[in-house]
Structure 1
């Protein structure tokens, strides 16, 4: 029987490509545990589809699988040909499939790297263990933020739905399931790819040292450093893994009790969000604004267009409190003001939207108020739309024509009704999310103090800065990332 042996230097994709081309129908796995080598013969053994992560599914006819073994050699036979895998894989049961968790040639896994607790030095230090430890910690954090255990369960559910023969009887629902399944599989494959790449680089460093190849070792160290930086960036992306996080959004600000003082504060808050959105490169459009009697605004709504606008802005939902010497008080006394912030995602998936019937709408037209040109304030161009079944309303008076105002108001109304439905479903499923359930006056999230000292403090995370001016000029990322990290990283039960 002839033999084909794949060298250690072959990439994993090259190995799988050659295995794939053989059209496999029989497999021999030479396994060794801690005690002694064993041989296992499976038939039929390997399927080209489906894939799990970057690996193939190896199936036993009994479907029971096996675990806690390290593969020293994997030989796959087809006719008179043998293919020998030089790389090792840690085997773990995944439902009815046996999925291969990557390991180095001497059995080191990503979890093993974390358990070793290697010291993490600065990126400038050429220490492979430091880089490997940082990468492993990033992978661990990414899994936690992706809620790994729930992700796997959800994939199992979606896979079962995809296998139903009547799936495409409802094309809209089928499309939604396919998109979600593809998205989750993409996230899983990316994380599995990180794990595999990390361990391959560690193996290459070991090989380079055994063969005194300084160039190969240097190249592998540089690859680990690049990977360390890229996984760090992925940590941030994993904060925004929610269903609607990638959407654009509406940000609404409403003045609380306190008259002119609170209206002025609401205006400051809205300006803060406009500047924050512009700093991030998002498009900002004023949809509705009701001016205060003397100064500021009673309420206002802006549309923020850009990728992950909702994912970031949802951290701002709640009541914002200001303490300062009032510019409207002749006695120069200290006042406390409140403004409420709501953030509503704009759903891009039409199938996710609530269908609104024209017969359920009450449309009112009136003359726009506030500053405006000769045409705006002399015609009934402003529009208020009420969704009768829910009582939800939306108003727009900032466009020049009635048709434009109606279109903008309808967009806001649609998003509010969608959000109401999402909140109802979340309540039914006992899934309470910060972005949907804490839009109320009793949930103060942040205090801005301008007198007698200067500070901005988030009461949810205790994150604070001593420069209120920079915050009011749109420097909110520290608060946002601190909240998102705290809300996702507190749960240890994810694997």
Structure 2
């Protein structure tokens, strides 16, 4: 039993029973194994607990709240002192009888629905979630990486380069937070288990009920963490640009590209993200040749990166007077927006070719009357970006520069880490056999992701932006595949 459980138990009004408190203390000390006693620096009966009588005053009313933190730093390193240290307890979390996450998984306890009041079921579900979170976080790599970052943070000249230092500091803080969260989940799991066992020993129905509810709440909370662990990439928390381009097929594909872009707009809006049209080139008769939107919000890139690739549509063409079935393609690219101060590629004004032209579109007041649209070309790489949807040339130039910066950052990430496939695919590879997903509207109705085999029979809901099932399925499959060695 941990110190926290003991304190919580003693502080409960229903447990203000002197004889019960003695039993709690006895249970607390008996939880130490013989191995722990034999492995201590000196025989336990010769050691003294490094705490004065004053530090234990009022324990009857306050538990062990007055115990000094300095006791955790005892030079003798007594078993009791080391056990009270939250840092040590978090490293090897276990129940009072030695139960661990690995033991629970090995026991293969049946997992029932949440409404079943079975602590073993809840514990097994939580243990499985902790295992999955660790795997997705690449647990074995976290601590070595944390040690490297800690050494870098201790270098006296680190802040000579504030940009680099800030990046190191943020990564260090992020890893510390992840490790702390997982350790806290393990600790809470075994605290609740110990509380339930204790309540049954003492026939305390109220304590058992409260502990069971706490275990269920933990089960639901850790399930949410499974999702967060899917988005553990360095750029996942960024906003992003989503680009859609029509494939070969003329008006049919341009109309499909427009449908795909509208699908992403509705998806982003349903998640509460901000959506801004950066650039759009309309088709001659219908749809779009290509378009770019900016999606603002936390983890926008982490989710949207699952959509990279070619999307295939099968339907009876509304543009074919003979009502024949057509197949169309549109390609999607997703580019993270690293934000101010985090750009990987430096842009020199002398390397830019800036062209101004008249905005296209449906017309209206001011539109199509001035050369307000801007196209910027980065001469060394040939990368271009354009914007024509803002009200002024200055705003269009600013938006186009933001797109250009993100595209060049993407190229730099590709060059440095060979991560091109993770961020985007070639917009020219849009043909049969290259699609990641098929949207079939005739002769049957179905949307299927060919990477995960996830499918739904309601294409209309998908085209209205209901993409989370496909996104989460892909993220789970891509992270969970071949990651067994990360625990």
TM-score, length basis structure 1: 0.82
Q: Is the 8 A contact 2:352 2:376 kept in 1?
A: yes
Residue 296 of structure 2, aligned match among 299, 302, 305: 305
Q: Where do 5+ consecutive residues of structure 2 fail to align?
A: 12-30, 44-70
Alpha-carbon spacing, 1:296–1:6, altered in 2? closer, same or farther (3 Å): closer
Task: Output one character per residue of 1:173-209: Cα deviation in whole Å (capped at 9) or x when no partner.
Answer: 1111011100110011000000011011111112112
Cα contact 2:261–2:291 (8 A) shared by 1: yes
Which of 175, 200, 209 aligns to 1:184? It is 175
Q: Which residue of 2 aligns with 1:418?
A: 409
Aligned position for 1:210: 201
SS of equivalent residue, structure 2 residue 211: helix
Alignment of 1:304-453 (within 5 A): 304-348=295-339, 350-427=341-418, 434-436=422-424, 441=429, 443-453=434-444
Give the alignment partner of residue 6 of structure 2, picking from 9, 34, 37.
9
RMSD, aligned α-carbons: 2.9
User: Closer, same or farther in 2 for the Cα pair 1:81/1:184, shift >3 Å?
Assistant: closer
Deviation at 1:219, TM superposition (A): 1.1
Q: Give ranges in structure 1 of 5+ residues lacking alignment.
A: 15-29, 43-74, 93-97
Runs of 4+ more than 6 Å apart:
79-83, 88-92
Which residue does 2:267 correspond to in 1? 276
Residue 126 (structure 2) pairs with residue 135 (structure 1): yes
Partner of 1:22: none
Check the 8 A contact 2:72/2:84 in 1, yes or no: no
SS at match of 1:376: coil
Distance in 1 (CA, whole Å) between partners of 2:417 and 2:199 is 53
Q: Matched residues in 2 for 1:116 and 1:438: separation? A: 48
CA contact (8 A) 1:317 1:439 kept: no
Aligned 1:162-173 pairs, distance under 5 A: 162-173=153-164
Alpha-carbon offset, residue 415 of structure 1: 0.8
Q: Which residue pairs with 1:101 in the alignment?
A: 92
Separation (CA, whole Å) in 2 of partners of 1:486 and 1:315: 11
Provide the C-alpha distance between the structure 1 equivalents of 2:86 and 2:372, rounded to a whole number of angstroms.
68
Tell me, in whole angstroms, the C-alpha distance in 2 between the residues paired with 1:190 and 1:438. Answer: 38
Greater displacement, 184-193 / 345-354:
345-354
- For residue 492 of structure 1, what is the aligned residue in structure 2? 484
Q: Which has the higher helix share?
A: 2
SS at match of 2:126: helix
Corresponding residue for residue 455 of structure 1: 446
SS in 1 for 2:7: coil
8 Å CA contact retained: 1:6, 1:86: no
Task: Return 334-343 or 437-446, whichever deviates more.
Answer: 437-446
Distance change in 2, residues 1:157/1:35 (3 Å): closer
Normalized per residue, the structure richer in strand is 1
Q: 1:84 aligns with which of 80, 86, 92?
A: 80
CA gap 1:438/1:479 in 2 versus in 1, 3 angstroms:
farther
1:82 positional shift? 8.3
| Secondary structure at 1:10 match in 2 | helix
1:135-154 matches, within 5 Å, as: 135-154=126-145
The equivalent position to 1:112 in structure 2, one of 97, 103, 109, is: 103
TM-score scaled by length of structure 2: 0.83
Larger RCO: 1 or 2 (CA < 8 Å, sep 6+): 2
